[in-house]
């Protein structure tokens, strides 16, 4: 029996959309590769996160990973991930998110073992931090980009940013496990709302722009707005037609989503949001902000709507309420089948890894 190649994922930010991505990708590749995941958890990481992974996947917690920049912890994490890699002896290393990307590109030279990096949304695009910090984060990315490493972006927009820093750049669209999602949807009892209802999903935080969500809701008092989730900025959602569900289990969240008529995403920045892809699969017309990630998936007036301001969000939602949008829904469904599912995503990653291993093998044989 052919021995599997060892694949090491190093993931600092195993929460939210990155967690879903890592689960789906590693599970999809675990029959072909011997998968190891060196990770740290966050508040958003499910308590039973280990149950999401196939039994043949090896999980290794990195004790010194932290979200913020802490020099002592970061130095310890640097040596910790090097030690983990030395013990595993992986054939491929793939770094996920900014912190792992910075430490990993300097911990591993990319000459003995192929190294890949996926940003999942560059830190220097985050509008929640000062211009000075964004400048520093971009400078760090530019310096790290000189290392021997291929950056695999999650969306076309992120890929365009990457190409400004390095020619070793490719992109693979995020995808969702449509088969798994459909099984869960089959169990959901859809509760039909008496009024036109829109929803969003995620943490109520600066990135998701609850202030704009609230302004749109105030513009449309006859429309019901549902925010599935919770967060530190819930006090900004003051419009009387907004319902905040709080954090709920997966089945309950899907019940809210399936019972709504449309999906809204007012984010200030994104990588390629899983919530958007899931809404498209659920045949909800999607109305999103004009930022990288969102606009890479949604084409305005074709498979959804892209908005620059509150007034356009309001106009587009009224259009959805008053018109037949079945052609948009079908175009979005076709995109899901062809581009944004884990079968397509895993196949592309498998091809990338194998091509790199072939090149590596040819080098060693010379």
Tens digits of per-residue pLDDT, 142-158?
A: 999 999 999 999 888 88
d(CA 246, CA 9): 32
At 67 the pLDDT is 66
184 within 8 A of 105, measured Cβ to Cβ: no
pLDDT tier at 134 (50, 70, 90 boundaries)? confident
72, two tokens: 């002592």
pLDDT at 365 (0 to 100): 52
Global confidence as pTM: 0.81
Tokens read off for 311: 């007034």
Quick check: 38 and 60 in contact, CB under 8 A? Answer: yes
pLDDT of res. 361: 63
Confidence (pLDDT) at 112: 84
The model's confidence at residue 286, banded by pLDDT at 50, 70 and 90, is: very high
Give the mean model confidence (pLDDT) for residues 242-258: 92
Residue pair 81/107 in contact (Cβ under 8 Å)? The answer is yes
Q: Is the pLDDT of residue 94 over 80?
A: yes
Q: What percent of the chain has pLDDT over 90?
A: 69
CB half-sphere exposure, 133, CA atoms < 13 A? 10
Arithmetic mean of pLDDT, 191-218: 94
Q: How far is CA 60 from CA 69, 82, 156, in A?
A: 22, 13, 31
The residue-averaged pLDDT of 71-92 equals 93
Contact 108, 24 (CB under 8 A): no
Instruction: Give pLDDT, residue 68.
Output: 66
Distance CA 276, CA 272 (A): 8
Which candidate, 325, 350, 17, 328, places its Cα nearest to that of 152? 350
* Position 73 confidence tier, pLDDT thresholds 50, 70, 90: confident
Kindly state the average pLDDT of the residues 93-112. 90
pLDDT reading at 363 higher than 70: no
User: Rounded to whole angstroms, how far apart are CA atoms 12 and 23?
Assistant: 14
> What burial letters (b/e) apply to 309-346, b meaning 16+ CB within 10 Å?
ebebbbbbbeebbeeebeebbeebeebbeeebbbebbb
Band (264; pLDDT cuts 50, 70, 90): very high
- % of the chain beyond a pLDDT of 70: 96
> Confidence band (pLDDT; 50, 70, 90) for 362?
low
Asked if the model's pLDDT at residue 205 lies above 60, the reply is: yes
Q: Where are the alpha helices (DSSP H) in the chain?
A: 16-29, 71-88, 98-107, 131-144, 156-163, 178-185, 210-219, 250-259, 274-281, 294-297, 310-322, 326-338, 342-365
Looking at the DSSP assignment, which residues form a beta bridge with residue 152?
A: 170
Per-residue pLDDT reduced to its tens digit, 301-345 = 999 999 999 999 999 999 999 999 999 999 999 999 888 989 899
The mean predicted confidence, pLDDT, of the chain is: 91
Strand, helix or coil for residue 170: strand
- DSSP secondary structure letter of residue 60: E
Residues 105/144, Cβ–Cβ less than 8 Å: yes
């Amino acid at each position: 029996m052919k021995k599997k190649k060892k694949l090491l994922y190093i993931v600092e930010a195993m929460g939210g959309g990155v967690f879903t991505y890592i689960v789906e990708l590693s599970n999809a590749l675990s029959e072909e590769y011997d998968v190891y995941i060196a990770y740290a958890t966050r508040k958003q990481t499910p308590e039973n996160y280990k149950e999401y992974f196939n039994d043949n996947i090896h999980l290794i917690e990195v004790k010194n990973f932290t979200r913020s920049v802490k020099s002592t912890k970061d130095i310890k994490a640097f040596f910790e991930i090097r030690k983990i890699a030395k013990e595993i002896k992986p054939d491929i290393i793939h770094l996920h998110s900014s912190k792992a990307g910075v430490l990993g590109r300097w911990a591993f030279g990319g000459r003995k073992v192929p190294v890949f990096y996926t940003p999942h949304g560059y830190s220097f695009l985050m509008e929640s931090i000062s211009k000075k910090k964004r400048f520093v984060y971009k400078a760090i990315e530019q310096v790290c980009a000189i290392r021997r490493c291929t950056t695999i972006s999650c969306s076309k927009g992120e890929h365009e940013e990457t190409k400004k820093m390095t020619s070793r750049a490719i992109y693979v669209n995020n995808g969702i496990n449509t088969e798994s999602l459909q099984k869960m949807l089959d169990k959901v009892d859809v509760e039909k709302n008496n009024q036109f209802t829109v929803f969003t999903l995620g943490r109520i935080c600066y990135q998701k722009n609850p202030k704009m969500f609230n302004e749109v809701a105030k513009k449309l008092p006859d429309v019901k707005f549902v925010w599935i989730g919770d967060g530190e900025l819930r006090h900004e959602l003051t419009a009387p037609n907004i319902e905040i569900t709080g954090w709920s289990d997966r089945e309950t969240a899907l019940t809210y989503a399936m019972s709504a008529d449309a999906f809204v995403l007012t984010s200030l920045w994104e990588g390629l949001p899983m919530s958007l892809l899931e809404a498209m699969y659920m045949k909800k017309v999607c109305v999103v902000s004009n930022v990288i990630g969102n606009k890479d998936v949604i084409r305005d007036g074709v498979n959804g709507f892209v908005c620059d301001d509150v007034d356009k969000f309001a106009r587009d939602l009224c259009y959805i309420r008053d018109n037949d949008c079945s052609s948009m829904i079908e175009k979005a469904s076709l995109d899901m089948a062809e581009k944004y599912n884990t079968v397509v995503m895993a196949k592309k990653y498998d091809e990338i890894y194998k091509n790199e291993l072939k090149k590596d093998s040819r080098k060693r044989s010379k």
